[in-house]
A = this chain, B = another copy of it.
Amino acid sequence: MTDAMTADLAGRPIRVGLDVGGTKIDAVAVDPSGDIIARRRRPTGWGEDAVVASIVDVITDLAVDGGFASTAVGTVGVGIPGLVDADTGRVLHAVNLGVESLDLSERASAIVGAPVRVENDVKAAALGAAALRGIEGSMAYLNLGTGVAAGIVVDGAIWRGSRGTAGEVGHLSVDPNGRVCGCGQRGCIETFCGGGALARAWGRPGALPVRDILDAAESGDPTATALRADLFHGAAAAVRALVLSADVERVIIGGGLTALGDRLFTGIRGALRTGAEASPFMRSLQLDDRIELLPDGSPAAAFGAAIVGATTPSKEIVPHG
């Protein structure tokens, strides 16, 4: 828990955090001691007005669930996909939400009556995962969902890098002959272990195609077996990239693919161990011991958004000069 988060605002002690995804919003209310006192999920609206409305609605629902007045909400933090300007709270090109350009911070705070801070969803989730797991040094949150991206947290703060692309390991190419990625390159890590890329390569309908792939692989289907190997290989490559560049101490794996549970974790760990067998250098890194899997349904992303909301940006505490 950050110091900023434990600070009480007179009469407005509740911190709200929302993880806004393409299909649903996951929202939590956090009390001054850092405990989640209410949690609510609801479908995300489509388009700018509907996104704002669903954010406002879920906060109202949360207050009912948590037994607090809406006026007790001191801060709101929102994690959302797309290009986010964390300073202004503006969201651009969130294509999965039907949002082209939205002054989310300004519009939502006018209705909610509390400051609303906005952050990229993966970066917010990284902050939440680090806090929930009690990681104090450096860590990366590797999000395996439709796409693949990581957020890096160092000493409790998001590591942004110079232009906001820190942790974008999904678009490192690891095979010049690999599948073409949505980004235009070939063999990106995301083409190996992104849920979207795997579903396209599998080509059969299903609620969670990657689960179907694992099931079919266990039944001996050769296409599924190859795709399963790709999944584990790609995720292992992402872990290696994060450690061999930023050298984070731990890599926490989250995102939609965590619904696969232990099969995912065991597979990635196995790929890391296989890679280490051939290389004393890789073995010395002990990567298989440095990964963790978030439990399916973990509130890390919403909790991280609550931390974002509760954190005073450094620019506000620097005197104007």
Residues of A within 8 A of B (CB): 137-138, 159-169, 171-177, 181, 183-186, 237, 240-249, 275, 278-282, 285
Contacts and interface: CB of A to CB of B under 8 A. Distances in A.
Contacts of A137: 162
A163 B245 contact: no
Contact of A176 (B166, B174, B183): B174
A245 B167 contact: yes
Nearest to A278: B184
A94 B283 CA distance: 20
Given A161-B248, A249-B163, A174 B177 contact: no
Nearest to A275: B185
21 contacts: A138-B161, A161-B247, A161-B248, A163-B249, A164-B247, A165-B244, A165-B285, A166-B245, A166-B247, A168-B245, A169-B245, A172-B172, A172-B245, A173-B240, A183-B282, A184-B279, A184-B281, A184-B282, A185-B275, A185-B281, A241-B244
Nearest to A180: B278
Contacts of A241: 172, 241, 244-245
A242 B244 CA distance: 9
A237 B162 contact: no
A247 B162 contact: yes
A281 B183 contact: yes
Given A137-B162, A174-B173, A285-B165, A184 B247 contact: no
Contacts of A185: 275, 278-279, 281-282
Contacts of A173: 174, 237, 240
